[in-house]
Amino acid sequence: MGSFLHACEGEIVCESINPKIPYFNAPIYLENKTAIGKVDEILGPLNQVYFTIRPQEGIVATSFKAGDKFYIGGDKLLPLDRFLPKPKPPPGS
């Protein structure tokens, strides 16, 4: 789902590496399926999405290094077209 960029005010800032958009409060995991926290904020334009993770108790945001990967359940993602304007129907339809 995302790649670690840096820690900020106790939260984890990530760049999305998935074309879909995560749900707010969706659980985030490490590769070994250990839960580390939940999606808190979603930032940036649709073509370059960033998000923050609010870590669970016992997880320290500064313990990760640049490039560390985070994962999300496939059922906790929204397609990008959900955020794009709908095409106008042809006149008379």
- So what's the pLDDT on residue 49? 94
Would you write out the chain's pLDDT as a tens digit for each of its 93 residues?
999 999 999 999 999 999 999 999 999 999 999 999 999 999 999 889 999 999 999 999 999 999 999 999 989 999 888 888 888 888 876
The per-residue DSSP string of 3-60 comes to: EEEEEETTEEEEEE-SSSEEPTT-EEE-TT--EEEEEEEEES-TTS-EEEEEEPTT--
What is the chain's alpha carbon radius of gyration, rounded to the nearest angstrom?
Answer: 15
| Domain residue limits at 59 | 2-72
Total domains in the chain come to 1
Is residue 30 in some structural domain? yes
- Give the CATH number of the domain where residue 55 resides: 2.40.10.230
Q: Is residue 88 part of a domain?
A: no
pLDDT value of position 84: 84
Q: Is residue 28 part of a domain?
A: yes
Query: Is residue 1 within 8 Å of 39, Cβ to Cβ?
Result: no
Q: Does any domain span residue 82?
A: no
Identify whether 19 is part of a domain.
yes
